[in-house]
Copies of this chain bind each other. A is one copy, B any other.
Amino acid sequence: MASQAVIRTKQTQKMVNGVFTEVVCSEFSNYIFVVLTQYGKIGTLVSITPDSRSGDISLPLYTTKVLLGKDEPLTHVCAKNVATFVSQESGNQPVLLGLALKDSTMDSIRVMKEMIKSCQVW
């Protein structure tokens, strides 16, 4: 057996509230890469990094940064909503998130988060 771990990638797709939705997740050693797209695009690319300065581990803080695409306040909110649980479940790994949504209503986001969970690579 090779001692090196191979990058794990999982993906899924389904209709969410009538919109074709795709998820791709890959585990790199320094980032969990997640794409959530309803356009087939990689979309707005956002890094979500746990804030190591946070003193209270029960309330971790996250820094979001738009690397590619429009930097809008709603993007940061949506990115945190979608990806914070990935970071938490993976032992506070940073997340690199590609986000291209037609429908970002709460109900749809909830279903999409379940899709991401089903692609767990962390």
Contacts and interface: CB of A to CB of B under 8 A. Distances in A.
Interface of A: 2, 4-7, 9, 11, 13, 20, 22, 24, 26, 28-31, 33, 35, 37, 39-42, 45, 47, 67-68, 96, 98
Contacts of A26: 24, 35
Given A9-B11, A11-B9, A28-B35, A40 B4 contact: yes
Contacts of A31: 41-42
A40 B5 contact: yes
Contacts of A37: 7, 28
Given A20-B2, A26-B24, A35-B28, A7 B67 contact: no
A24 B7 contact: yes
B7 A30 contact: no
Identify the 10 closest CB pairs spanning chains A and B, nearest first.
Answer: A29-B40, A67-B67, A28-B42, A4-B20, A30-B41, A31-B42, A29-B41, A7-B22, A28-B41, A7-B24
